[in-house]
Amino acid sequence: MLVYLNLIIIYIKIIFVSSLCKEGQNNCRKCDSLENLCRKCDKEIYSPNEYGGCDYRKHCSEGINHCIECAEDKYLCKICENDYFSDNYGGCSYTDNCKISENGKCLQCKEGFILIGLNEYYKDSFTICKSLNSDDLQNCENINLLDGSCLSCKQGFYLNKGDNKCINISNCEESYFGICKKCNKYYYLNKKENKCISQNGIFSYCKETINGEKCDQCDDGFYLDKYRNCSRSNYCEKVGSFGQCRKCIDGFYLTSSGDSCTKDKNCYKGNKDFGICLSCKNNYYLDNINKICKSNQENNEFKYCILANEFCYQCIFGYQVGEDNKCSTSYNCAESENGICIKCKNNYFMGLDNRCISLEHCIYSNKYSEDCLECEDNFYYERKNKTCLLSKTNFTNCKSGYNDYYCVECKNNYYLNQTDKLCYNNNIKNDIFYKCAQTDSEAKKCVSCIENY
């Protein structure tokens, strides 16, 4: 008896094993390891059966795939279980308009419908057949096959956020419940009229306007300047209300002038379009070959220089380039050392503070009018001919005068006597002309004092 029972068990096992799905056998290409049934059959001309293999399509079996009663030709199911619909291949599915189903789940829809919700990672995922002509898929180009929503629209339409429908406000790229939020490239949004208008004139590179009258927001890479026009802002990550950059992209530094971004942190002013430095901070000069700022205090060749190549051709404020291509504090300098002129150009003469002067015997002049303000000792400035002349007896201590006829201004520690136009000592204490600069016409009283008196 026991031997007979064991034989029955072995026979059942043989039958069970033989019904297992095996990929590559019985026209099955892919098995379902949990149910031991075929999931995908060869070349889509077979449909899965309950034995782990595949039958030709249009094969109906009562009691299989939720079918209660097959049609007479045994191809299609005539009556399905409650809430199931007959598909075109002998089975039933949860979904109306289904063409191929497996265990109640639709695998392929009829023509004009798209399968939504099929997920190979979730065995019990719910599937439906959605009409391609449904209201929310009109003019849709790419569909999300998990939830049935539209991902992108056909040309001439754009996706409306909020309901994911494709609508066609002209040249609008993004909207929310029919209100345009973003226009296509080269168009700006007029909020008042809910229109996208071609960028041109004062609205070039403008993204959004205020009542269609002035720009309120610029395209990426542009900023709103003080005239409410959109200007290019390369390398700038964040700009202020009137165009000054507030923060540069990684790898760039904000210039000291605050109007552009460059790769050099010692740059004072840069080029907005190309990110190169045009001039450096104080104590730095611009190497024009490499477009970087270098210290001008560590290089006597370019000390006080702003721009350089093989030689300096522009200096910081207050300095000038001399004939030696170095910067000095004097105009018309031929040679300098550490910013101090040591030799003047031809026809120029060294004056006070190592400045080069066009008048011989002049030690200090006005660089704009070239008038001499002070001549060497024993010389006075003759105003008519603009030259320093050797003082004669009558012009001793005279600073400037006219043709040896009369003195106009005396040197320090002397005052001008208006009766004889000569200079006298004003440094005698208790004298009425102590610290006097000039007397009256009769030389009886002082009419102007020296500086600080």
The pLDDT tens digits along the chain (453 residues) read 444 444 444 444 334 444 588 888 887 888 877 767 887 777 655 677 777 788 766 678 888 888 999 988 788 889 999 989 888 778 898 888 998 888 888 888 999 999 988 877 776 677 889 999 888 898 999 999 888 889 988 887 878 877 788 888 888 888 787 788 888 888 888 888 888 888 888 888 888 887 777 888 887 767 777 778 887 767 887 776 555 677 888 888 888 877 788 888 899 888 877 888 888 888 888 888 888 898 888 777 888 888 888 888 888 888 888 888 889 888 889 888 888 899 998 888 888 878 888 888 888 887 655 678 888 877 888 877 788 888 776 677 888 777 666 788 888 899 999 888 888 999 988 889 999 999 998 889 999 999 889
Q: Return the amino acid letter for 108.
A: Q
Say how far apart CA 277 and CA 272 lie, in whole Å: 9
Q: Which residues contact 426 (CB under 8 A, 6 or more apart)?
A: 413, 414, 415, 433, 434, 435, 436, 437, 450
Say how far apart CA 232 and CA 221 lie, in whole Å: 6
Q: Which residues contact 269 (CB under 8 A, 6 or more apart)?
A: 255, 256, 257, 259, 260, 277, 278, 279
CB-CB contact of 421 with 428 (8 Å):
no
- β-bridge partners, 165: 160
Say how far apart CA 360 and CA 177 lie, in whole Å: 86
DSSP symbol at 12: H
Describe the strand order of the beta sheet including 305-308 as a list of residue ranges.
292-295, 284-287, 305-308, 312-315
Say how far apart CA 135 and CA 148 lie, in whole Å: 12
- β-bridge partners, 120: none
Say how far apart CA 359 and CA 216 lie, in whole Å: 61
Q: Return the amino acid letter for 392.
A: K
- β-bridge partners, 114: 130
Q: How far is CA 283 from the centre of its chain?
A: 29
Q: CB-side exposure of 159: number of CA atoms within 13 Å? A: 13
Q: How far is CA 306 from the centre of its chain?
A: 27
Q: What b/e readout covers 20-34, taking b as 16+ CB neighbours within 10 angstroms?
A: ebeeeebbbeebbee
Say how far apart CA 244 and CA 258 lie, in whole Å: 6
